[in-house]
Amino acid sequence: MALVEEFKKKNMNVALIREKMELTFSLRRREIVDLQPMVSEALERWPALFCDAEIREEFYRITNKGLIDNFRAALNQHTWRLLRLYRVRRAAFSSEMDQLLNSLDQETSDLTAHRQTAALKGLPLFLRESQEKLFRNCLDTDPEEGRTKGLTVGILTVLEDDTSAAPRSVTSVAVVVEEEIVLQDLPDLPTAFAYLFGLIYTLNLSYPKHLRYTFETVQKLFMELGTDLSARVRSLKNKLLALAN
């Protein structure tokens, strides 16, 4: 992460960075697809690729779709349907789904943001996958070296260590890849999720086995990239369509 911050300080001309990244796009894609470098190697070779603006640009170069706008539009479309599915079938899931929905019911402000966050956090639970391996919370007083341990790809939410506050304030939201924070100080969890998905695409990473259906849902239902659905994601799509009619 320090390498990215150093790069940002030395390269303030965004237009020039974009131009150079466009010129080197073919070379970079060959390297990433053919050589499959570790994320740390890609960071050393292409530090601009880990800046928020270039994640968006690279995603557009690959897919011809806007990362943030398309993700946000899809999330706006699907949030209420997902939450309705969670509520209807909450008894079929672990206590984590109950906790998620009960927490949402207690919110009184920024309801749209909280609903979108709950829709995303509930997705791996609904798909019978591992929520804790995608979303992690820690306190701002926790040792930094342990915050991302074991997190292959995920979102880290740092909470203020203030026992008098209920709920605790969020101090930072970060994207984690291969146990390294690669993007931080993002405005909210949905934005972080979009950038995480964008990084997976731009770095040509395989979806973790314990989250394959969650990311397939984002890819094919949210972003409309591909139509060959697994049985589990097709079932979810059918349930969402039924609610739309």
pLDDT in tens, 58-85: 999 999 999 999 999 999 999 999 999 9
Residues 109 and 202 in one domain: yes
Last residue of some domain: 37, 63, 89? 63
What's the structural domain count of the chain? 2
Residues 39 and 134 in one domain: no
**pLDDT one-digit tens code per residue, 2-19:** 545 555 554 557 778 888
Asked if the bond preceding 124 is cis, omega within 30° of 0, the reply is: no
pTM score of the predicted model = 0.91
pLDDT at 27 > cutoff 70: yes
Of the chain, the percentage scoring pLDDT greater than 70 comes to 93
CA distance 136 to 175: 10
Residues 98 and 13 in one domain: no
Tell me what pLDDT residue 166 has. 65
Last residue of some domain: 63, 90, 107? 63
Q: Is 190 helix (H, G, I), strand (E, B) or coil?
A: helix
Residues 24 and 56 in one domain: yes
Band of the pLDDT at 89, cuts 50, 70, 90? confident
Residues 47 and 89 in one domain: no
Q: What is the mean pLDDT of the chain?
A: 90
CA atoms within 13 A on the CB side of 220: 18
Residues 50 and 98 in one domain: no
Find, among 147, 156, 161, 140, the residue nearest to 189 by Cα.
Answer: 156
Residues 79 and 154 in one domain: yes
Range of the domain at 29: 2-63
